[in-house]
């Protein structure tokens, strides 16, 4: 990357930066001064707890009402998500996507429903 940067900067009136990049590249390539960064593999072990299979309905929302400072996000919203189904939450900024997730996770209390 430094070689590409030096070549790109050379003709663009930034010869000083190009020269600095070349010197840095020479320093890195010099076997006398090059020190290899130590690398250590880190293993991550985790397991999911064995749980009993839940029922067919994984998530049920009935008459959800919620909003902020006069802005209503949900008005009597309903949703049923069954085992094996997938859910995509799409919408513009401020539509309530993150708020819906917080409500589902119980991190926020709904206004109603």
Burial group, residue 81, by CB count within 10 angstroms (0-12, 13-18, 19+):
middle
pLDDT reported for residue 91: 93
Do the Cβ atoms of 66 and 96 come closer than 8 Å?
A: yes
Whole-angstrom Cα Rg for the chain: 28
Do the Cβ atoms of 77 and 59 come closer than 8 Å?
A: no
Query: What sign does the dihedral 94-97-100-101 (CA atoms) show?
Result: negative
Please list the rounded mean pLDDT of every run of 10 residues in the chain (113 residues): 67 70 78 75 82 84 90 92 92 92 92 81
């Amino acid at each position: 990357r430094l070689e590409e940067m030096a070549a790109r900067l050379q003709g663009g009136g930034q010869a000083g930066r190009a020269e600095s990049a070349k010197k840095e590249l020479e320093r890195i390539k010099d076997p006398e001064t090059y020190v290899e960064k130590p690398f250590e593999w880190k293993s991550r072990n985790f397991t999911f707890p064995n749980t009993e299979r839940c029922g067919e309905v994984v998530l049920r929302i009935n008459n959800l009402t919620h909003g902020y400072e006069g802005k209503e996000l949900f008005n009597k919203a309903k949703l049923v998500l069954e085992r094996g189904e997938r859910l995509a939450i799409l919408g513009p900024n401020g539509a309530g996507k993150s708020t819906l997730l917080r409500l589902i996770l119980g991190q926020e209390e709904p206004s109603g429903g």
